[in-house]
Amino acid sequence: MVTNLPEKAKALWAKAQMEKNAVQKLRLLKEFYSSFPKHKGTERLEVSIKRQIAKLEEEIEMSKIHRKRLGSQKLEWIVKKKGQIQLALVGKLGEALKILALWLNYCCVFALCF
């Protein structure tokens, strides 16, 4: 069967296919869905558009959840400052311990000299 889409619907379909942003594409697909006539010739098109809309809505929802998770993970790396000195050692564990021991010995010797 022939779909016989009006020009407005064809233009919306072309815009929706070219759009990269998921939110804008969802908006255009919903506009397209409401603009074309529903009859026996457009049943497959209707089902296809409904699937695309559902897929985009799910994708947008997953991206929102993913952004929330990333934000909460960043909070784990925040270290609140306490005391006068805050020291961060990066590297292998054995090397970090050696550097820390040398640094503490140097500070103790330096403090005793004065």
10-54 residue pLDDT tens: 999 999 999 999 999 999 999 999 998 888 888 999 999 999 999
Q: 21 and 64 share a domain?
A: yes
User: What is the rounded distance in angstroms from the CA atom of residue 109 to the CA atom of residue 87?
Assistant: 19
Q: Chain-wide mean pLDDT for the chain?
A: 79
| Total number of domains in the chain | 2
Q: 61 and 91 share a domain?
A: no
pLDDT band for 114, please (50, 70, 90 cuts): very low
Residue 1, domain member (yes or no)? no
Domain that holds residue 94: 81-113
Q: Could you give the 3-state DSSP secondary structure of residue 19?
A: coil
CB 41 within 8 A of CB 17: no
Q: Is 15 exposed, middle or buried (0-12, 13-18, 19+ CB in 10 A)?
A: middle
Looking from the CA of 36 toward its CB, the CA atoms found within 13 Å total 27
Residue 2, domain member (yes or no)? no
Q: 30 and 48 share a domain?
A: yes
Q: 69 and 44 share a domain?
A: yes
Q: 33 and 61 share a domain?
A: yes
The two tokens of residue 53 are: 């809309």
CB 29 within 8 A of CB 49: yes
